[in-house]
Amino acid sequence: MKIGVITFPGTLDDVDAARAARAVGAEAVSLWHADDDLRGVDAVVVPGGFSYGDYLRAGAIARFAPVMQSVVDAARGGMPVLGICNGFQILCEAGLLPGVMLRNVGLHFVCKDQWLRVENTETAWTTRFDTGADILIPVKNIDGRYTASAETVRELEAEGRVVFRYVDGNPNGSINDIAGICSANRRVVGLMPHPEHAIDALTGPSDDGLGVFYSVLDATRSLVTA
């Protein structure tokens, strides 16, 4: 099982994402923004940071990187893709997920441990959680306010595609307290908080983030046996 982790200029969390992949027994494979080769990976993590300095809009330039063309093609073919923070912004700009992230209400960079509710446990990245489980993982961003057209939000809610929702306070003014969503086929997930920073009690507030990475092992295994 190989999990690819992309590095763009300005990516920050590729090292922690690779560490999280190894923590669940997967092989972490580095993917380079300028190389369209996905190196035989079974799943891809688009990690957080400030790709291309967030110039223009967060994720707006990264979506044109050669590696993203390959990720979009692979995702359309069913490969599990996880976008965390800036990675979520990139997946939205790339059209794999609907909506966009805006500047936080209050204009502050928010960095804290955040409670989330797991609302959909049928995505490639959440099968190891119990539905309705509350998990504690860090959130750290300034452009985290999820927004989409009223019609898109209605569709996401009706189809159960809100995967993670903020509980115990909304840190950024995100519509309907949305912290993370998934694609219609439930293979592509994006969220603003950082599961890769919560994989052991020594370095994070919990190990709740591990469930995300264990889940994708199951998702790719079932693909192989199907």
Partner 1 sequence: MARVVVDVIPKPEILDPQGQAIVKALPRLGFTGVKDVRQGKHFELEVDDEVDDATLAKIAESFLSNPVIEDYVVRRVES
Catalytic residue among 33, 93, 119, 194: 194
Output the smallest distance, CB 100 to partner 1, in A.
Answer: 5
Output the smallest distance, CB 52 to partner 1, in A.
Answer: 13
Output the smallest distance, CB 44 to partner 1, in A.
Answer: 23
> Restricting to residues 79-98, which ones interact with partner 1 according to CB under 8 A?
93, 98
Tokens at 132, concatenated: 């309705």
CB atoms within 10 A of CB 207: 18
Nearer of residues 4 and 59 to partner 1, judged by Cβ: 59
- Applying CB under 8 A, among 36, 57, 72, 176 the residue interacting with partner 1 is 57
Q: If DSSP codes are grouped into helix, strand and coil, which group holds residue 154?
A: helix
Query: For 33-133, where are the E strands, in sequence order?
Result: 43-46, 81-84, 100-102, 110-118
Nearer of residues 108 and 112 to partner 1, judged by Cβ: 108
Tokens at 45, concatenated: 């993590």
- Applying CB under 8 A, among 23, 105, 110, 223 the residue interacting with partner 1 is 105
Which string of b and e fits 136-147 if b means at least 16 CB within 10 Å?
A: bbbbbbbbbbbe
Catalytic residue among 92, 93, 196, 197: 196
The single-letter DSSP state of residue 207 is S
Catalytic residue among 85, 92, 93, 197: 85
Q: Which one of the spans 1-9, 21-29, 53-61, 163-171 is the region binding partner 1 (CB under 8 A)?
A: 53-61
> Restricting to residues 137-196, which ones interact with partner 1 according to CB under 8 A?
147-149, 173
**42 lies in the site for partner 1, by CB under 8 A:** no
Which pairs count as long-range contacts for 19-23, CB under 8 Å and 24+ apart, including other chains? 19/196, 19/199, 20/195, 20/196, 20/199, 20/209, 20/210, 20/212, 20/213, 21/45, 21/213, 23/199, 23/200, 23/210, 23/213
Nearest residue to 170 via CA among 190, 195, 203, 144: 144
Nearer of residues 51 and 104 to partner 1, judged by Cβ: 104
Kindly give the pairing relationship between strand 43-46 and strand 2-7.
parallel
The yes-or-no answer on residue 196 being catalytic is yes
The yes-or-no answer on residue 194 being catalytic is yes
Amino acid at 127: T
The yes-or-no answer on residue 92 being catalytic is no
- Applying CB under 8 A, among 7, 11, 51, 104 the residue interacting with partner 1 is 104
Tokens at 163, concatenated: 């995967």
Output the smallest distance, CB 143 to partner 1, in A.
Answer: 11
Q: Mind telling me the catalytic residues?
A: 85, 194, 196
- List residues near partner 1 by CB under 8 A: 56-57, 60, 93, 98-100, 102-107, 147-149, 173
